[in-house]
Amino acid sequence: MNLFSLEGKRALVTGANTGIGQAIAVELARAGAYVLCAGRRTCSETVAEIEKIGASGESIIIDFDDPMAGVKAIEGLGTLDILVNNAGIIRRSDSTDFSEKDWDDVMDVNLKALFFTTQAFAKQLIARNAHGKVVNIASLLSFQGGIRVPSYTASKHGVAGVTKILANEWASKGINVNAIAPGYIATNNTEALRDDPVRSTEILSRIPAGTWGKPEHIAGTAVYLSSAAADYVHGAILNVDGGWLAR
C-alpha cells in the first residue's frame, strides 16, 4: 500500500489560481486526486499544469467576497474527500489607521468562509458515513503578532483555533482536520515585503535556511496531510518555515 497515494480521491482546493494554492492543487493531482481548483478568477492555468503531468482537474469559480459561497459550491460539487482551505487575503496598515472594512473583508475570507466551507464539507462526509481530510492554511502569524496586519493576524490565530476545535469534534468521525503554517513564501501576499529591501533583509536574516520559501515547499506537506500517512494526525499545525519559529 502506498500511504501517500490519493488515487480515487476528489479534492477541492480554494485559492488555487496562483501561488501556494496552485502548487498544492498540482501536487494533489500528481498524487492521484481529481482536483477541483477554485478561485475568484479562473484557475485555467492551474488546470493546464495538472493536465501537463497527465492528471485531471477542473476550474470552478468561488468568490469568498461572499463568505458563504463555499457552502453553496459544495452542495453542487458531488462527492468530496479532501478540502484544502487556502484562499486568503491580507490588508496592511498601522493598527491606529486600520479601517473597519479592511478588518471585515479579511475576517470574512480568511476565517468565516473557511469555517462554513469546512462545515458544509464535513456535513457531506458525515451524511454518507465517509472519512475525509481537511487541510487549512494557517500562518506564522497564527503564533506571532506581525506588523501592520491586525486583521490578518487575528484571522490566522482563528484558523489555528478552528483547526483544533474541529479536530476535537470530528476525529472520532474519521475526519482529519489539520493545518500548515507557511513561513515567508514568495507569493503575491508577500510581494510588498520582498520589494522592501529593509524588511526583506530583516526577514532573511532571521530564517535559518536563509531563503524565501517556494509554494512547492508547502505542497508536499499538503499531500501528506491529505493521505493515509496522516490518518492519526489530528489538530496539528505543521510549520513549514525554513526554521523561523525555531530561531
Give the bridge partners for 14, in sequence order.
Answer: 38
pLDDT(193) > 90:
no
Question: Grid coordinates in use for 133?
Answer: 481530510
Mean pLDDT of 37-65: 98
Among 85, 86, 82, which residue's Cα sits nearest to residue 131? 82
Among 80, 171, 164, 172, which residue's Cα sits nearest to residue 115? 164
**Residue 184 among the catalytic residues:** no
- Per-residue confidence (pLDDT) for residue 58, from 0 to 100: 98
Q: Which of 152, 184, 224, 232 is catalytic?
A: 152
- Per-residue confidence (pLDDT) for residue 21, from 0 to 100: 98
Distance CA 172, CA 156 (A): 25
SS3 177: strand
**C-alpha distances in Å from residue 96, one per residue of 45, 93, 102, 148, 194:** 39, 8, 13, 9, 24
Q: For the chain, what are the domain ranges?
A: 10-239
Mean pLDDT for the chain overall: 97
How many residues in total does the chain contain?
A: 247
48: which residues sit within 8 A by CB, 6+ positions away?
none
- Per-residue confidence (pLDDT) for residue 110, from 0 to 100: 98
CATH code for residues 10-239 = 3.40.50.720
pLDDT digits (tens, 9 = 90+) for 78-118: 999 999 999 999 999 999 999 999 999 999 999 999 999 99
pLDDT digits (tens, 9 = 90+) for 119-133: 999 999 999 999 999
% pLDDT > 70, the chain? 100
pLDDT digits (tens, 9 = 90+) for 227-239: 999 999 999 999 9
